[in-house]
Structure 1
Amino acid sequence: KEAQDAHEAIRPTDVARKPADVKRYLSDDLFKLYQLIWQRFVASQMLPAVFDQTSIDITAGDYLFRATGSVMKFDGYLAAYQISTEREDDEAAETDEGRRLPPVTEGEVLRLETLRPDQHFTEPPPRYSEATLVKELEDKGIGRPSTYASIISTIVEREYVNKDQGRFTPTMLGEKVSDLLVKSFEDIFDVSFTARMEEELDEIEEGRLRWKDSVKEFYSRFEEDLEQAKGDMESYKAGIPTGRKCEKCGQGELLERISRLGFFLGCSRYPDCDFIEDLSPEVGGEGETETPTCDNCGREMVVKRGRWGAFLACSGYPDCKTTRRLISGTRRARQPDVPLNENCPECGSQLVLKHGRYGEFTGCTGYPKCKFIRGKTLGINCPKCGTGELVERRAKKGRRRVFYGCNRYPECDFTTAYKPIAEPCPKCGAPFIVEKRTKTEAVRTCLKEGCDWEIAAPESEQKEAAPEEVGVLGKP
């Protein structure tokens, strides 16, 4: 499916301005972006590549090996634009169409480089990554290149999916919302309906369909579905019957409900019966293998579920009644607060060092009456105002990505997505350097305007997973 014509393409103002010709005028990021746009535009005007689907039989003693794949006969647009997709751990790379074969001649002697004995079992298809999800949207005719980014950001921000090792996993919230909407608006949430709407946009743009007729046809059906859903759609706030009797009182029926802590089962006789069963799926942090022990008696702590969700309790109960809260969204024990020799600037109560889901921060002991919070301090003075100090912060929207800013905000608006390090620049003498991380490497560089100092980060840090970043928001 081609791009929807109602969305204007991003293209070079002059195709004669080749990326190599303008490289010296652009920063690295701008050059890569322009090169991508230029190559894609040129490729869109070129002929398709041509491949021959073929098989190669290789004899090795009494054994016969067969390789099936494709051989390029004409590179076409690939001469200007090579499509890069996520092939690792993706079964698409093992299909006949996805495997490229080298050119060979009959009777050619081949040299064995490696022998890899593999045994394969039938497995479910891998979960979607961003790249494979976009490809599926393209194949189904849903959305256009200009809308793919907003589609993906929406399902992430609304917590309909979690991203684990680059792949999307639906959350319980996402599954429940999908079930309710598909059941009540079956025609609108059908894949063919969305694809048809995209075609109607083309017809409207070409003058073959009046937009008023298209909107009228849509709303006539949508209004009927909406009115019916108001009366028929199940409500998790009111409770959805499960057909199970309450395990505590034996009289009421268990209803599936939702609260700010997630989905749970509750008795229909509440408040006379307060039975609660948490339905939140088991979660765990990557690499968490150590079992925490009780601070009082030394026994193992175990995960238990209460009215307000999961928590850690001593396995020696009832002799030892020690409990600890869990960090939201994990099975890691919440570390105890560390008192600080500092008072809250808003209410005067003592400040404590807390450990939350997103790392360390300073909070007020007067919470929830006082909601003062200060991010993790870095011991580096703000390069813009000179009086403030840089602190670690997280975006309130989106994926709660880490960034660093001045603690005098909003008086000082200095921010950067790169982690400041309290070491002076060896070239220009700037008071600190920053660490930039990508999916493939980590480098240390200077933020000062006009300074080009940069080195690779230590090898131990290269192996760490790259954190989420939001891009540079400000410079001194």
Structure 2
Amino acid sequence: MSKSLVIVESPAKAKTINKYLGNEYIVKSSIGHVRDLITRKFKKPTHKSQKYSQSYSLNNKQKTYFIENIGIDPYKDWKAEYSILPGKEKIISELKNIAHKVDHIYLATDLDREGEAIAWHLKEVIGGDSTKFSRVVFNEITKHAIKKAFKNITKINMHRVHAQQARRFMDRIVGYMISPLLWEKISRGLSAGRVQSVAVRIIAEREDIIKKFIPEEYWKLNVSFVLKNQNKIIMDVTHFNNKKFRPNNQNELNIAIEEIKKSSFFIKKFEKKIIYKQAPAPFITATLQQSASLILGFSVKKTMFLAQKLYEEGYITYIRTDSCYLSLNAINKVRKYIKKFYGDAYLSNKYYIHTNKKHSQEAHEAIRPSDIKVKNINTNTINLDAEKLYLLIWNQFIASQMKPAQYQFITIKIFSHLFQLQKQLKIVLFDGWTKMFKEKNENITQIPIIDIGSILNIDNIIINQKFTKPLPRFTEASLVRELEKKGIGRPSTYSVITSKIQERGYVTIKKNKFYAEKMGSILTIRLKKSFSNLIDYNFTANMEKKLDQIAENKLSWINVLNSFFKDFSEKLDQAKKNPEEGGMELNNIVFTSIKCPTCFKKMGIKNAITGVFLSCLGYQDNLKKRCKQTINLIPLNDVLKKKQNNEVTSGFTKLINKCEKCNMFMDSYFINKNIQLHICINNPSCIGYKVEKGNFKIPIWLSKTVECDKCYSNMLLKKGPFGKFFICVNIKCKNTRKILPNGEISDPKLEPIPFPELLCKKSNASFVLREGVSGIFFAASTFPKSRETRSPFIEELAKFQYLLPKKIYYLSKAPIVDDKGNKTIVCFNRKNKEYYVTSKKKGKFTGWSAVFIKNKWCVINQ
């Protein structure tokens, strides 16, 4: 029997597809990309002419050196040198062996540009007769979709491959050519990304606005009136003397209150209006990421990981799309479902065809369930979070074809000779599509009885002091929305963008909000000045459109790259010059009056990827006499603890410091209990700073001397991309401990404990007890070869309690079974960082649980 090879991207996808194809097909996975541009470390130039000038007009030796390291030749129509990715040699070898034995090869990688590029790379790597290869794509992993796809085979779309290559080449050029410049001019370890740098700019500019914002006081006034039926209604004072009412001080407020007490009020207007709220469009990648963040609290990275799993298991359609398009077959099925389970009252009168944004990929469908009849998915293959995400997608898809929600808005206006007051009420007349989300509506059961022209009696005057607030910081959801609005990046890149800018230390996330780090702000300012196009919103968005046009064969990919490279290289040449000649400004050290505690020389303010710190100026001396003393600067905002009434309780008062050099705002830092340092936000461009001396309270984690739990050496406070932590001074140890959000220092990490008598089910390995962010768990001793994990049974901990350290010994004393004889397992509450015990029956939680209170186990749920 003749056989065909089908190559997909992931093993899970291969397993699912294998169920639907017959014995004449062999389904294998490439496990993502198989090759990429060569990645060589830059060698030190051996000749003057090889000096890495990164100029558009390089001489021949410089060109050769440049091309050897970057893997692309922009001078020969962008000829590229690819290499097999490390670890993929075995996979490629296996695919080649099978490919030589089969009659045909189907490249069934994902249907986006990345998938098209992977298909092309596979074809190039496997080699052989090109007529032996076919391209097959499907939007969902269902039997119907796969059978249909194999009846409509195509060839690799080289225009889409070229679009992907153009993006990859530009990113490689930017990364490899700018990074050496940033290392030389600003700080080691820096890098720039064509799209990531724009995302950092968005966050850094918002941070700048927030820092410069000065709150302004204002007051709101409400008046409670008694109606005819003795019911009360609270009205907002909106106008005073025919002007908008917004008093900025208590004196203005008191004048208004006295006038209200003397005034007579009557009802001027009572208006009813029907409003329809249309059904939402089905999810695209960006809206799924935003909704999962807002509703489920998932990060963009987590959402995409779970969505990929759901797609590979066949539960949902392809997840990387910016099109709201739905197939007619899908619409018919969901409409039948709505009619059957919700009734005609909820079914929209006609098909909803949701419009797409201008540059969406029309051929792609929106994200929807593969089978609308499947509401509860198999939790044996998918975890609970993936189930929540699936239900969100399922609800959105059904809602997209339901009737609009219907509301009645009531506007009431009350007048006097000086004042105008207003109130708006909302009544839900028909919930429509919001039924799918159990939306909390202001459902008024009784409409107030209002007589136009009737005089009202004042019941109470309510005053509220308010302060203006700056624009909010970006969350992952709002950042994705902003990138989408500006046309920056594409659905498949949002997860990478949000992850990269955090990993590089340019921004941090605290309580789900992005904060720009000092280096992120410096980098943004330098790139805006020297590479205006690189982080210009319109330029980046237009480049995305050009990539789309390349994919549609409307633009030449080589011409686009040539234009980009010429402009970029010219700007790079200019940036390399001295600052006096218009080159990129240096990240100079700013001298201070603070003395080094080691050698007593002056210290200077330095900015690096790890944050702002003081460095001894003696470091500039020759190597033998060099002083390496540094002092960490802790942002004052990290030290302050505030009550709900916004009063500062840690001994600090917030002062608005202005720089004496440039009159700009200053960032405040904590050095020790006697010294604070205020630094101009324009540092290092501005050398302004202030030293404030006093007696300041210090936080817990600064007042403690931390001893390493492994080697008993001292531990130093450091700051990394993911926050503050302590690290052991012993270079051989490198033990670390985090600082928790409450200011406490995390407990020492639990060392892995082998349990040789507990064998794994999926391999010949035994279990090892490990500790992670979700508490202790059993993992295979051969990890990562075997990734088997599970929760420990209490009976296992009791049997081997002699292996347990003091930290978790009490868990072995927990109940081994519940009241019905079901075995108990260890669980961990991530919110309060406490262990508890629960039980399962046939893989499902029983609802029984016990907690450790006052040195004993107490059953709290039976």
Instruction: Indicate whether the TM-score tops 0.5.
Output: yes
Aligned pair 1:138/2:484, yes or no? Answer: yes
1:390 corresponds to which residue? 769
Aligned pair 1:233/2:584, yes or no? Answer: yes
Aligned pair 1:152/2:508, yes or no? Answer: no
Unmatched 5+ residue regions in structure 1? 85-98, 292-300, 307-314, 317-324, 339-343, 345-349, 394-400, 461-476
1:38 corresponds to which residue? 394
Give, in whole Å, the separation in 1 of the partners of 2:511 and 2:771: 24
Check the 8 A contact 2:486/2:537 in 1, yes or no. Answer: yes
Deviation at 1:40, TM superposition (A): 3.4
TM-superposition CA deviations, 1:188-209 (whole Å, max 9, x none): 2011222223333433344433
CA 1:194–1:227 in 2, change beyond 3 Å: closer, same or farther? same
TM-superposition CA deviations, 1:249-292 (whole Å, max 9, x none): 9x99967453867444664993289797765533338689789x
1:182 corresponds to which residue? 528
Q: 1:128 pairs with 459, 463, 474, which one?
A: 474
Give, in whole Å, the separation in 1 of the partners of 2:433 and 2:708: 60
Bigger drift between 32-41 and 170-179 goes to: 32-41
CA 1:248–1:262 in 2, change beyond 3 Å: closer, same or farther? closer
Q: 2:423 pairs with 60, 64, 67, which one?
A: 67
Aligned pair 1:368/2:731, yes or no? Answer: yes
Deviation at 1:368, TM superposition (A): 2.2
2:639 corresponds to which residue? 284
Deviation at 1:65, TM superposition (A): 4.0
Give, in whole Å, the separation in 1 of the partners of 2:575 and 2:471: 34
Deviation at 1:50, TM superposition (A): 8.4
What are the residue-to-residue correspondences of 1:406-445 with 2, within 5 Å? 409-410=781-782, 415=789, 422=812, 423=814, 424-426=816-818, 430=823, 432-437=825-830, 445=838
Give, in whole Å, the separation in 2 of the partners of 1:149 and 1:32: 19
CA 1:303–1:262 in 2, change beyond 3 Å: closer, same or farther? same
Q: The residue matched to 2:489 in structure 1 has which SS? A: coil
Give, in whole Å, the separation in 2 of the partners of 1:132 and 1:14: 28
Check the 8 A contact 2:426/2:442 in 1, yes or no. Answer: yes
Letter in 1 for 2:483: L
1:270 corresponds to which residue? 620
Letter in 1 for 2:532: E
Q: 1:222 pairs with 555, 560, 568, which one?
A: 568
Q: The residue matched to 1:124 in structure 2 has which SS? A: coil
CA 1:83–1:161 in 2, change beyond 3 Å: closer, same or farther? farther
TM-superposition CA deviations, 1:91-150 (whole Å, max 9, x none): xxxxxxxx97969868459xx9x9974222222122222233233233323334433332
Letter in 1 for 2:635: P
Letter in 1 for 2:513: R
Check the 8 A contact 2:501/2:507 in 1, yes or no. Answer: yes
What are the residue-to-residue correspondences of 1:74-473 with 2, within 5 Å? 78=434, 107-108=449-450, 117-231=463-577, 232-236=583-587, 239=588, 242=590, 256-258=606-608, 262-264=612-614, 267=617, 270-271=620-621, 281-282=635-636, 283-284=638-639, 302=673, 331-337=702-708, 367-370=730-733, 375-376=749-750, 385=759, 390-393=769-772, 404=776, 409-410=781-782, 415=789, 422=812, 423=814, 424-426=816-818, 430=823, 432-437=825-830, 445-446=838-839, 450=843, 452-455=845-848
Q: How many residues align?
A: 391
Q: The residue matched to 1:135 in structure 2 has which SS? A: helix
2:373 corresponds to which residue? 17
Q: The residue matched to 1:434 in structure 2 has which SS? A: strand
Q: The residue matched to 1:375 in structure 2 has which SS? A: coil
Give, in whole Å, the separation in 2 of the partners of 1:380 and 1:67: 67
Give, in whole Å, the separation in 1 of the partners of 2:563 and 2:405: 41
CA 1:149–1:375 in 2, change beyond 3 Å: closer, same or farther? same
| Rg comparison, structure with higher value | 2
Check the 8 A contact 2:505/2:609 in 1, yes or no. Answer: no
CA 1:34–1:369 in 2, change beyond 3 Å: closer, same or farther? closer
RMSD: 6.0
TM-superposition CA deviations, 1:23-56 (whole Å, max 9, x none): 8997644433222223334555679878898844
CA 1:235–1:63 in 2, change beyond 3 Å: closer, same or farther? closer
Unmatched 5+ residue regions in structure 2? 1-355, 452-457, 578-582, 643-647, 652-671, 678-693, 737-747, 761-765, 794-807, 854-862
Give, in whole Å, the separation in 1 of the partners of 2:839 and 2:493: 36
Give, in whole Å, the separation in 1 of the partners of 2:400 and 2:560: 31
1:471 corresponds to which residue? none
TM-superposition CA deviations, 1:306-357 (whole Å, max 9, x none): 9xxxxxxxx99xxxxxxxx999xx535243456xxxxx8xxxxx67898988
Q: The residue matched to 2:702 in structure 1 has which SS? A: coil
Deviation at 1:171, TM superposition (A): 1.6
Give, in whole Å, the separation in 2 of the partners of 1:144 and 1:70: 38
Check the 8 A contact 1:12/1:37 in 2, yes or no. Answer: yes
CA 1:128–1:261 in 2, change beyond 3 Å: closer, same or farther? closer
Check the 8 A contact 2:506/2:516 in 1, yes or no. Answer: yes
Q: The residue matched to 1:174 in structure 2 has which SS? A: helix
Check the 8 A contact 2:616/2:630 in 1, yes or no. Answer: yes
Give, in whole Å, the separation in 1 of the partners of 2:525 and 2:363: 31
Give, in whole Å, the separation in 2 of the partners of 1:82 and 1:48: 14
With a CA cutoff of 8 Å and minimum separation of 6, indicate the structure with the bigger relative contact order: 2
CA 1:5–1:459 in 2, change beyond 3 Å: closer, same or farther? farther
Bigger drift between 120-129 and 44-53 goes to: 44-53
TM-superposition CA deviations, 1:43-82 (whole Å, max 9, x none): 556798788988443689x986423588889978656568
Give, in whole Å, the separation in 2 of the partners of 1:49 and 1:215: 49
Q: The residue matched to 1:38 in structure 2 has which SS? A: helix
Percent of counterpart pairs with the same letter? 25
Give, in whole Å, the separation in 1 of the partners of 2:432 and 2:491: 22
More helix by share: 2
Give, in whole Å, the separation in 1 of the partners of 2:574 and 2:480: 33
Deviation at 1:402, TM superposition (A): 5.9
Check the 8 A contact 1:49/1:77 in 2, yes or no. Answer: yes
CA 1:445–1:202 in 2, change beyond 3 Å: closer, same or farther? farther
Give, in whole Å, the separation in 2 of the partners of 1:256 and 1:191: 30
CA 1:266–1:447 in 2, change beyond 3 Å: closer, same or farther? farther
TM-superposition CA deviations, 1:393-449 (whole Å, max 9, x none): 4xxxxxxx566455985468555699995433526664642125479x998545897
